[in-house]
């Protein structure tokens, strides 16, 4: 399991790019399964999981568009309710803990919330399940083969030294 908890590396990620306009997530297609509010929350979460540094982060390659496509696809019904309930849980936990929605939290607070979900300290096993599902879909969208990646390019392969 990939851990985001603690350490200066986590804080060095910087502020997630949550100011992006939700309509720009998937170009002409628009959102197909996520609501604009869910998409904005998911943008903030995925940017903490794969932040922009020397390489593009999750938001720069359209990971939320990828996840929206998964939810709108043939297996979407299986994942849709998990995302709806899971994102509601994360939002409620943020508000209960910090008195702000997740998107309004500073990066350290966002990392804290995600760490609590990852470890099971926030809402136990259901919290861990949604964290892991978002993590897997984020990595799928980010590290996918070029033809299947969120934006048709593959910066992650360059990052790991594989030019395909």
Is 101:27 a contact under the CB 8 Å cutoff?
no
pTM of the full structure: 0.77
CA distances from 155 to 31, 66, 120 (A): 23, 15, 32
Is 42:101 a contact under the CB 8 Å cutoff?
no
Amino acid 61: pLDDT: 82
pLDDT digits (tens, 9 = 90+) for 104-129: 999 999 999 999 999 999 999 999 99
pLDDT digits (tens, 9 = 90+) for 47-86: 999 999 888 888 888 899 999 999 999 988 889 999 999 9
Q: Which pair of structure tokens corresponds to residue 78?
A: 């299986």
């Amino acid at each position: 399991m990939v851990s985001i908890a603690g350490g200066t590396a986590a804080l060095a990620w910087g502020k997630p790019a949550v100011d992006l306009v939700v309509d720009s997530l998937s170009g002409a297609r628009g959102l197909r399964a996520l609501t604009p509010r869910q998409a904005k929350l998911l943008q903030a979460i995925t940017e903490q999981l794969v932040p922009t540094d020397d390489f593009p982060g999750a938001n720069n390659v359209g990971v939320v568009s990828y996840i929206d496509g998964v939810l709108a696809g043939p297996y979407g019904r299986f994942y849709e309710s998990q995302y709806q309930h899971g994102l509601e849980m994360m939002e409620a936990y943020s508000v209960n803990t910090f008195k702000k929605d997740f998107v309004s939290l500073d990066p350290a607070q966002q990392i804290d919330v995600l760490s609590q979900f990852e470890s099971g300290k926030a809402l136990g096993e259901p919290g861990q399940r949604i964290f892991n599902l978002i993590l897997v879909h984020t990595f799928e969208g980010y590290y996918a083969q070029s033809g299947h990646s969120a934006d048709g390019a593959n910066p992650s392969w360059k990052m790991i030294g594989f030019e395909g």
